[in-house]
Amino acid sequence: MFEMTRALNGEHGGPGNIVIWIVGQLGMSCLAMALLWMGACGSCGGSASRCGVLR
């Protein structure tokens, strides 16, 4: 079992990729939230208060 784990870590870059994955997930989440906050989704017409999100 441990040999398989070591082999997979060697193939996929090891534990260092965990940090890169977390940073990437945080970056994409922040980008999506910023677009929604700015009203880029278009479902509210650009204002969250008009569609009832901020009640």
pLDDT along the chain (55 residues), means of 10: 79 79 94 83 56 55
Angle at 49 between CA 46 and CA 50, to 5 degrees: 70
pLDDT score for 15:
75
Whether the pTM exceeds 0.85: the reply is no
CA distance 34 to 18: 24
pLDDT score for 23:
94
pLDDT score for 18:
84
What would the two tokens of residue 28 be?
A: 């994409």
pLDDT score for 41:
55
CA distance 42 to 55: 19
